[in-house]
Amino acid sequence: MTEHTLTVAGVAVDTRHWIGGERVASADTFTDVSPIDGSALGEIARGGPAEAAAAVAAAKAAFPGWAATPRAERARILHAVADGVEKRIEELAIVETTDNGALLRSHRRGVMPRVAHNFRFFADWLLTLDHDDFATRGHTNHVSWDPAGPSVLITPWNAPLMLATWKVAPALAAGNTVVLKPAEWSPLTASLLADIAAEAGLPAGVLNVVQGYGAEIGDALTSHPDVRRISFTGSVPTAQRIAASAAPRLTPLSLELGGKSPLLVFADADLDLAVDLAVEQYDNAGQVCLAATRLLVEESVAEEFTRRFVDKATRLRQGDPRDETTDIGPNIHPRQLEKIDGFVRRALAAGARAVIGGHPKDGQYYAPTLLTEVAQDSEIVQEEVFGPVLTLQTFATEDEAVALANDTRFGLAATLATGDRERAERVGAQLVAGTVWINCFFVRDLQAPFGGSRHSGVGREGGTWSFDFYCDLKNTVTAP
Ligand code: NAD
């Protein structure tokens, strides 16, 4: 361990920025704390405007070379990055779990393999990107996907490396260079990614990683004149600030934001499946943007549904996320825990009833909570809690179910449990959501468009939609 390295379970992580192919320290640092036990993991470089400027300059300098690199070579290097991720899955998994408290078993078997897949998928998709030439009065139209330039990617802490690489991979595939700023509550795996990318042969300056607190470094990144794209995943207030910062230069934005998604359970549903889907919403201690936190259940089955839900939810094991048998780990930060508890206390004061939970536990854990007797216009139904807190409301008719489902300012996802295919299609068509799941949840294909409506986001990423965003599309018209 050196001055600029910290060690997590034997894995050394460089705590400095990665700019232009070199490690760069900052005069200031911030302490990275593990949510598992509140222990300090080490001091991380705390970047500001100077580091932002240096990283964008490095990305700008590397851009012409990377943009001119043949597609096949870019794809080859991205596959080499995926190889590097696969070789280090165990290390990435334990570092991420220690840093953000999410389950080790899901990092090992789901998340980190998906990180590698992000690189493989966009490398392969790049090679399929094409558009047939077409004619206009004898003239030929040729559409090309030109790399847009240096791209700033800003990501949250709830699934740090997965969400970062969901942006890094298509941006690099498109021929853009990148400045990645991970969240200050989970800075570590982005630093490991910089090592892996360098080992895979990604040229210096093509991927830069800067660390620091949101606005302190973020404003300088999002207002920078040399930045051609900004892709952000995080909360609505931060998105509004980033949009304002980018506005004078009209820098194109992709925004993947919060949600308050519904799970609609109809009386004709397989109730065991519906209960499984509902209990799944506690995954990652409720820190999932897509979580269907509003359970909307048809009156006639509400009692039976609740009975089975409570039976299953109370058997979830809460504890150390490194333990293979744990189902729910800690929440990320004491501030987040306070926020969650504040939502619940205000809901209870307003007349809600806690069927289960409703309180914090020792350490940074919050009891899985189900609240009933909540009003549609109440804060707990309208606002994203981002913790293991679900509400349950009932409905009498399909129309009422749709009206309740659509009645928030969000529109990220919606899940339906029903045994009637025609109903599924009819209801699904009326829901305002970027993704609708019918009798399933969290099934994601990277070629599908992903994003949210209303305050859940602007734009879509995934497959060709990612390249639409990261490229400047050009039509060249040639006379006969
Ligand atoms: P956040 O908005 O507080 O922070 C996200 C990132 O933005 C962090 O890296 C932070 O440092 C940075 N940031 C903060 N202020 C900034 C500024 N002024 N300029 C530039 N960057 C700035 O969000 P969070 O609490 O880290 O994440 C939770 C939120 O993210 C929830 O609302 C959740 O729903 C949402 N989310 C959405 C998706 C999706 O795909 N739609 C996925 C995961 C999380």
pLDDT digit string, tens, across residues 259-299: 999 999 999 999 999 999 999 999 999 999 999 999 999 99
Q: Which DSSP symbol is given to 225?
A: T
**Phi, psi (deg, nearest 5) at residue 422:** -65, -40
Q: What angle do CA 65, 70, 71 make, to 5 degrees?
A: 120
pLDDT band of 122, cuts 50, 70, 90: very high
Sign of the CA dihedral running 89, 92, 98, 102: negative
d(CA 151, CA 219) in angstroms, rounded, equals 14
> For residue 73, what are its two tokens?
């070579």
CA-nearest residue for atom 14, ligand 1, is 214
Pocket of ligand 1, candidates 158, 230, 383: which has the most ligand atoms within 8 Å of its Cβ, to mutate?
158
Q: What is the CA radius of gyration of the chain?
A: 23
* Torsion angle, alpha carbons of 109, 110, 113, 114, to 10: 180
Question: What's the gap in Å between 62 CA and the centre of ligand 1?
Answer: 27
Residue 132 has pLDDT above 90, yes or no: no
Burial of 480 (0-12, 13-18, 19+ CB in 10 A): exposed
pLDDT band of 167, cuts 50, 70, 90: very high
What are the catalytic residues?
Answer: 256
Going through 148-289 in order, the beta strands assigned E by DSSP cover 151-154, 178-181, 207-209, 229-233, 253-256, 261-265
CA-nearest residue for atom 28, ligand 1, is 234
Sign of the CA dihedral running 303, 308, 311, 316: negative
Q: Which amino acid is residue 228, in one-letter code?
A: R
- Which ipTM score applies to this complex? 0.98
Residue 174 has pLDDT above 70, yes or no: yes
Cβ 82 vs Cβ 173: under 8 Å: no
Question: Which among 200, 150, 159 has a CA at the least distance from the CA of 182?
Answer: 159
pLDDT in tens, 324-364: 999 999 999 999 999 999 999 999 999 999 999 999 998 99
Going through 301-441 in order, the beta strands assigned E by DSSP cover 353-356, 369-372, 389-395, 413-417, 435-438
pLDDT in tens, 10-32: 999 999 999 999 999 999 999 99
d(CA 268, CA 153) in angstroms, rounded, equals 44
Q: Is 172 helix (H, G, I), strand (E, B) or coil?
A: helix
CB-defined site of ligand 1, < 6 Å: 154-158, 163, 181, 183-184, 214-215, 218-219, 222, 233-235, 238, 241-242, 256-259, 289, 384, 386, 412, 452, 457
Q: Which amino acid is residue 474, in one-letter code?
A: K
Mean pLDDT, all residues of the chain:
98
pLDDT band of 131, cuts 50, 70, 90: confident
Residue 446 has pLDDT above 60, yes or no: yes
The DSSP bridge partners found for residue 458 are 255
> For residue 429, what are its two tokens?
């068509």
d(CA 91, CA 78) in angstroms, rounded, equals 20
Residue 142 has pLDDT above 80, yes or no: yes
Sign of the CA dihedral running 409, 155, 225, 223: positive
Residue 1 has pLDDT above 70, yes or no: no
pLDDT band of 3, cuts 50, 70, 90: confident
